[in-house]
Amino acid sequence: MIARAPAKLNLCLYLGGRREDGLHELRSLFCPLLLSDRIEIGAAAGEADEVACPGVEGPNLVGVALEAMRARGWRHPPVRVEIEKRIPVAAGLGGASADAAAALRFAGDELADLPELALGLGADVPSQLDPAFALVSGAGERIEPLGAPGEFAVVMIVDREGLDTGAVYAEADALGLGRERGELDELGVRLREAGAGAAPLAYADLLVNDLEQAAISLRPAIAEALAALDEVGAARALVTGSGPTAFGIFADLAAAEAAAAALAPRYADAIVSGPQRLG
């Protein structure tokens, strides 16, 4: 089996308080991108599952997913999962979550309660089980597909050092960021009404990331990347997820390509992509 594991872009992220389980309540618009990892799943050579991800060191969330699947009683013969990484690591683009979700999808009907299992792996994993433009709430476990968005494209500036998600949320708490539940609920209604079928620039005033201040506090260079995107004509420039990737929104791929070219030489490795529906 060969599968795509698309990057996840947070077009906005509104932060609430910390819940009893330690996670934060949020409201966000998740958009899968054309940028994706390539996942190939086949038979393992030995008697144990194998995960290969050239160029990426350390534990892999796909391995954790496979262990969790086995613990739930998955009896499929041992598999080998080969990951061709195209999504930058620790960039706030959900690459590890997308890869783990692809492994869970492989089990299909052989395992019950995949969404519950996915949430146990990470807050971004449930939305990647069936990647679609969606309003996401709770800590990421409540997913409401909204239909394909209107046309847009993005230019992403990636900080290759990555940024720890837990550290960003902790910094947000330290800075006193976050909104009351009532305000979050109101924003959820507005996002649902605005996002269905529309291009994001039609509701640009809602494209806000409450974690941006915390991410910049930990990685000041993000502010420089946002300023550079503004300078090349981004209609909106913000951070995706917990960062450190900064992205600018443009009307279409042609405008995004022109902007990316203008970012050289400092940001010559800027990435251009669009919503998955264009693929």
Crossing angle of helices 114-121 and 95-107, in 10° steps, is 150
Whether 8 is catalytic: yes
Q: Cis before residue 115, ω within 30 degrees of 0?
A: no
CB burial of residue 229 (10 Å; 0-12, 13-18, 19+)? buried
Spot the catalytic one: 37, 99, 124, 210: 124
123, 121, 116, 156: which is closest to 137 by C-alpha?
Answer: 123
Burial pattern 98-128, b for ≥16 Cβ within 10 A else e, equals bbbbbbbbbbeeebeebbebbbebbbbbbbb
Q: Which two tokens stand for residue 45?
A: 């050579």
Beta bridge partners of 209: 13
Spot the catalytic one: 8, 37, 49, 159: 8
Whether 124 is catalytic: yes
Q: Which two tokens stand for residue 73?
A: 């009683």
Q: Which residues are catalytic?
A: 8, 124
